[in-house]
């Protein structure tokens, strides 16, 4: 669970039922919605499943300011903090009293985190196609262009006003599903949320 959480934030098809003109329009709608997001705050529930293991569920809160700043707080079952100020990322495992510090670098551009907190240019890092509507949502699938990405596919479900779900298939046969709720867009967020000082006594690892 913890390893996959880190992959999701840092490294972060089915038969089409629409005509090419509609397909292009659906992808454009997602791009426009992402373009309109300057800040975002939401609660989330995350479930990780694989063929051989029982699904594991966690939940927490996310805040982000585009581009590059984000704060993912996992409250259950393992408290973790994943924070980026746009230059570097801190991964704080509370139980282990361990903080890993990484530069954002090129990793963000090819990771799922780039979809929410990146520079808005999906076509620079992903190949996008439309999927059939499901659960009352429009769906678009993103395939990373970088072969070294930890994720094979990212699916995004959205309605006319907000992103609602993300589904991520990694290279090891695991699927991560994230459901967003109580989404607030474009409300001012204090920059202090995106800075972090390792607690005294923490084991600090720099990569």
Q: For 49-88, how does the pLDDT look when each residue is reduced to its tens digit (9 = 90+)? A: 887 778 889 999 999 998 889 998 998 888 999 899 989 9
Q: For 114-165, how does the pLDDT look when each residue is reduced to its tens digit (9 = 90+)? A: 677 776 677 777 899 999 999 999 999 998 887 777 788 999 999 988 899 9
Domains of the chain, each with CATH number or no CATH = 2-206 (2.50.20.10)
Please give the backbone phi and psi of residue 203, each rounded to the nearest 5 degrees, phi first.
-80, 110
């Amino acid at each position: 669970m913890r390893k996959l959480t880190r992959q999701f934030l840092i490294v972060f098809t089915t038969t089409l039922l629409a005509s090419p003109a509609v397909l292009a329009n659906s992808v454009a709608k997602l791009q426009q919605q992402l373009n309109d997001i300057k800040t975002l705050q939401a609660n989330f529930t995350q479930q990780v499943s694989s063929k051989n293991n029982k699904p594991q569920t966690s939940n927490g809160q996310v805040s982000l300011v585009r581009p590059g700043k984000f704060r993912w707080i996992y409250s259950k079952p393992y408290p973790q903090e994943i924070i980026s100020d746009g230059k570097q990322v801190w991964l704080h495992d509370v139980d282990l009293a361990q903080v890993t510090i990484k530069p954002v670098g090129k990793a963000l551009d090819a990771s799922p985190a780039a979809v929410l907190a990146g520079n808005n240019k999906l076509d620079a890092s992903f190949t996008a196609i439309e999927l059939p509507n499901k659960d009352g949502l429009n769906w678009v699938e993103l395939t990373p262009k970088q072969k070294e990405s930890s994720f094979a596919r990212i699916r995004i479900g959205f309605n006319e006003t907000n992103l609602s779900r993300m589904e991520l298939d990694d290279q090891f046969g695991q699927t991560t599903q994230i459901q967003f709720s109580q989404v607030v867009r474009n409300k001012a967020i204090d920059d202090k949320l995106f800075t972090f000082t390792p607690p005294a006594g923490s084991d600090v690892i720099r990569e």
